């Protein structure tokens, strides 16, 4: 099993790094499945808390935030929308060539609680695929319990992440 992760202290920085890596793989025609942070131009600038994931191959956008209405000052994940995005990624993974790696946005609060993308991570690892994701500091302990010592922390550099996926 190959489970790699990157962790950065700045909120969203690791997510952006993985999204850039996924876009490079897609542009180069390398087989992989990625569910990563959507490019900023795919988001509504009038909704500063909007969250969306982009699925590769294909580039489909999956909004995963709830609109809390006017005056709300918090971002809110729509867990049901995240599950729909995870199901789409699972379908893409089933169609991907054997050995194609999986790149995921992050092991966040949903995954720490046993939901979200966690089943997809397990399925990809069981198939022998390399899995790469980000782990925010606040969910690191839950990730380490999930990974049972199998997660390898990687330098937050495109070249190092690319090497991990190609190995």
List the one residue out of 50, 122, 135 whose CA is nearest residue 86. 122
- For residue range 20-76, list pLDDT tens digits in order: 999 999 999 999 999 999 976 666 666 666 788 999 998 899 999 887 767 666 668
- Parse the chain into domains and list their residue ranges: 2-166
User: In this predicted structure, what is the pLDDT of residue 74?
Assistant: 63
pTM over 0.85: yes
- Say what percent of the chain tops pLDDT 90: 77
What's the rounded mean pLDDT across residues 109-116? 94
- For residue range 139-166, list pLDDT tens digits in order: 999 999 999 999 999 999 999 999 999 9
Q: Return the higher-pLDDT residue of 51 and 105.
A: 105
CATH class as words, domain 2-166 = alpha beta
**Mean pLDDT of the residues in the chain:** 90
Q: Output the furthest CA–CA distance in the chain (Å, rounded).
A: 49
User: In this predicted structure, what is the pLDDT of residue 43?
Assistant: 63
């Amino acid at each position: 099993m190959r489970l790699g992760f990157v962790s950065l202290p700045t909120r969203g920085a690791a997510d952006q790094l993985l999204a850039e890596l996924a876009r490079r793989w897609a542009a180069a025609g390398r087989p992989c499945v990625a569910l990563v942070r959507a490019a900023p131009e795919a988001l509504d600038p009038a909704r500063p808390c909007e969250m969306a994931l982009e699925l590769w191959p294909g580039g489909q956008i999956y909004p995963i935030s709830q609109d809390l209405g006017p005056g709300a000052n918090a971002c809110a994940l729509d867990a049901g929308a995240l599950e729909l995005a995870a199901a789409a990624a699972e379908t893409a993974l089933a169609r991907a060539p054997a050995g194609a790696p999986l790149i995921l946005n992050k092991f966040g609060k949903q995954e720490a609680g046993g939901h979200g993308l966690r089943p997809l991570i397990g399925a990809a690892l069981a198939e022998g695929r390399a899995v790469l994701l980000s782990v925010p500091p606040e969910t690191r302990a839950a990730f380490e319990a999930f990974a049972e010592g199998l997660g390898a922390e990687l330098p937050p550099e495109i070249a190092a992440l690319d090497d991990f996926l190609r190995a």
